[in-house]
Amino acid sequence: MLLDHFGSDVEILERNVNGRKVSIEWDWGDFKSTESFPVDSNLINWVIGQEQALKECFLCLDEWVHKLKWLDKTKWYESWSDPEKAKPSARTVISPGPYLLLLGDPGTGKSLIGRALAEKLTQVYKEKAIKLFDMICWRNTALPSQPKISIHKTGEGKKILQKEQLKELKRKFIAKIGLKALQTFLVLMGLLLISVGFYFMFQAWLTWESNPMYLGEPLQDYYYHNFLDYLIGKFVGLVPLTFIPGGSLIFFGVFIWWFSKLGGLGNMKGISGAQQTDVPKLIVDNSSGHAPFVDATGHRNAQLFGSIAWDPYQTGGLGTPEHQRVTAGDAHRASLGILYIDEIKNLDPEEAVTLLTVLEDGQLPITLRGRWHGGDTAAMAVSTEPTPAITFLVGAGNFDSISQLHPALMDRIYGYGKVVRMNNDMPNSVENRRKYVQFIAQEVKRFNLIPFRRDACQEIVEEGRRRSNKKDALTTKFRPLISIIKTAATLAINEDCKVVERRHVQEAIENHCKTIQRQILEHEISERGKLLEIKPKGIKLGQIHGLAVVKDPYSGEMTGSVLNVKAHMVKRSELPRKYPLKGYYKVTGVAKGQSFISDSIAKVRSVILQNYGLDIAQDYLTHIDFSQSYGVDGPSAGVTMTILLCSLIEGKPIRQDVTVTGEINLGVGDSIQITAVGGVYEKIKAAEAWGFRKVVIPKKNFEHSIDVKDYKIEVVPASTLDDYLKECLVEKPTLTVPDQPHKRRKS
């Protein structure tokens, strides 16, 4: 472990805290914990170990700002400021690009860079006086199925909406007052006519009582003294003139009141309780003043590019009007900002092609999108005018996205943008180890944890080195380290500690923060280990212990495994046979049809021929068995098989407390080289767990990634086959397969 992780000097840390730039002295030689370490409030300064990626991102950002400044000079927005104006062709106004595609392993900070760029954009927009815009959707009175679009300066959208709502309220108020007046007038006129009818009937009664003359006779005599006949005659004459008109007026007055209360024309509720209205809809609101950042990861067609809602009352003007059913997509809401799509390879071909239109044109009409339309509906006929979608696309993915991304989309990104590789590691320097302290302090603040003591920070740095698989590097895959930080802090909190100590970090690493794939692999190896015949003691002729790794095919997680390898050789000429027996060379317990192990097997034969002048396939009956291995593959088995055969040929037993790994190569000159292999850390840990005393590995692996203080087992570097044989073979006379032990041709 490094003696001086963080140096001993005093550094002036420039930080942006709540919008203010401050300078803070930090004594790296004397700091006890991260408690008072200053954390920058700008996300762009949270990005660690991706300097080259940030440089490319800033270059794209400068290009983007230049594009927007030029667009501002052309006053491109004037064509969209009035919904009644004709919209121009985007290809003549808005140029495509720039775009970014960030490719790298999970946890390297792709999402953080996307959000940090949006934050940076907000600062740049304020400095360069670049304006954001709100978008409004208007009703098209001439052709309702084609709503109109207008854009306005930031904050104007809400004002226009409030103004139009006020106008609508005034119109509705006047209409309501007029309707009330009409209701009152109809009811009063109806009551008046009915009252007149009753008044005439009362007058008829008074006339009957006064007994006037009617046609020269008294009224009673003319009607045969029957008042009812007289009244009916009068009533029949009055009904068409008073009661029928009056009752009709009252009925219509009551009907208008009831219809207006329970849902009259213009009040039929549609989606979300909306009603028929001419008020426009604010579909994009940038009143916050922040550059838009829209994370569209995993979003489908309708979410990405907008859609038209379906309304059960959409026919006949009874439901929500067309312009109120328009919903802007991510591409529109991210206009003049960042549209971030992680795992961009998962876009459907249809979505990728539509995204091409957005990137090329900078605009896209909003219409019904998606596979599941629920049948043919009138919503399918609705499409807005071209709607601005001038987006800065930031895509992200793993390296397999290169082959899986839609070719046309990849071509646009190459042509108008940049593809940036994210680093998996950074140099193990004092500067970068200090950045690890910054990273720890950031996560402590983000998750409200207790501070980390200096030795706990050192252990996190060492874990970062181990995870890089390099001696002189630190991993930039920070997400797994976040889990370690949180778990270690929780362990310390449970013990009522004021700070996190090294032991908490070590416990988190060893016992609590393994991926499920690693847990499964270790469990399988542990269970299988109970059945393996592996005893790291003594010396044996014809048996050696090699090292391998078991790899999860989906996550890439690896764990080490110890192999028990045995061999048997018999010289063909010494067999008591009547007829000569052909020699053979067989290897069992290996993966069938795999090129790596097949190449290793072939090279072992040639190496033995070079070293001893013996052909193990023709002069001998040779059998090598990877016992209980269940299909070994890979180049690292080569040195194991070679040492095993050398042991038999020279008659020297092999130390059973030593295990080996390395790739055998054909000899050139005076030596046979053993070259580097993968998974060395996992292999050494497996040998350590089984109780081996020593492990021999290629010298290049040792120089590149091994810090001996990480292991309790002795790790020995070796570069040639002779180096391996010196560590493994015991100089003890023993019965050999040939009559006399063969000597190596090369020293």
pLDDT for the residue numbered 710: 84
| Dist. CA 549–CA 561, nearest whole Å | 5
Report the candidate in 458, 440, 439 with the shortest Cα–Cα distance to residue 449: 440
| Residues 65-94: tens digit of each pLDDT | 888 888 888 887 888 888 888 877 655 567
- As a whole number, mean pLDDT of residues 45-56 equals 89
Burial of 10 (C-beta count, 10 Å sphere; 0-12/13-18/19+): exposed
The residues annotated as belonging to the active site are 636, 683
Residues 265-309 pLDDT 10s: 445 454 444 556 788 999 999 888 888 889 998 888 888 998 887
Q: Within 13 Å of residue 322, how many CA atoms lie on the same side as its CB? A: 26
Q: Which two tokens stand for residue 97?
A: 């690009």
Kindly report whether the peptide bond that precedes residue 98 is cis, defined as omega within 30 degrees of 0. yes
Q: According to the model, what pLDDT value does residue 723 have?
A: 92
Look up the CATH number of domain 55-106+121-155+285-392+409-422.
Answer: 3.40.50.300
DSSP one-letter string for 94-113: ------EEEE--TTSSHHHH
Burial class (CB in 10 A: 0-12, 13-18, 19+), 626: buried
Q: What is the mean pLDDT of residues 220-234?
A: 58
Phi-psi group of 622: left, alpha or beta (phi > 0 → left; psi -120 to 50 → alpha; rest → beta): beta
**Does the pLDDT value for residue 734 go beyond 50?**
no
What are 438-445's contacts with CB under 8 Å, separation 24+? 438/37, 438/39, 438/48, 439/48, 439/478, 439/481, 440/34, 440/485, 441/34, 441/37, 441/38, 441/39, 442/39, 442/46, 443/482, 443/485, 443/486, 444/34, 444/485, 444/489, 445/39
The answer to whether 511 and 490 are in contact (CB under 8 A) is no
Its pTM stands at: 0.75
539-728 classified as CATH 3.30.230.10: yes
What pLDDT is stored for residue 135 in this prediction?
A: 93
Tens-digit pLDDT profile for residues 440-476: 999 999 999 999 999 999 999 999 998 888 888 999 9
Say which CATH architecture domain 430-518 belongs to. Answer: Orthogonal Bundle (1.10)
Over residues 250-268, the mean pLDDT reads 67
Return the pLDDT at 742: 61
Q: Find residue 329's DSSP bridge partners.
A: none
Range of 67-81, 364-378, 387-401, 574-588 with top mean pLDDT? 387-401
Given a cut of 50, whether residue 398 has pLDDT beyond it is yes
Pairing assessment for the beta strands 558-571 and 620-627 based on DSSP bridges: antiparallel
pLDDT tens figures, 532-562: 778 888 999 989 998 888 776 665 667 778 8
DSSP 251-318: HHHHHHHHHHHH--TT----GGG-------EEEE--TT-SPPEEE-TT--HHHHH-EE---TT-STT-
Instruction: With a cut of 60, say whether residue 501 has pLDDT above it.
Output: yes
Q: Convert the pLDDT of each residue in 633-671 to its tens digit.
A: 667 788 999 999 999 999 899 999 999 999 988 877 778
Which whole number is the average pLDDT over 503-515?
90
| Sequence ranges of the domains in the chain | 55-106+121-155+285-392+409-422, 179-273, 430-518, 539-728
Is the confidence at residue 123, as pLDDT, over 80?
yes
pLDDT at 28 > cutoff 50: yes
pLDDT value at 747 more than 50: no
- The percent of residues above 90 in pLDDT, for the chain, comes to 25
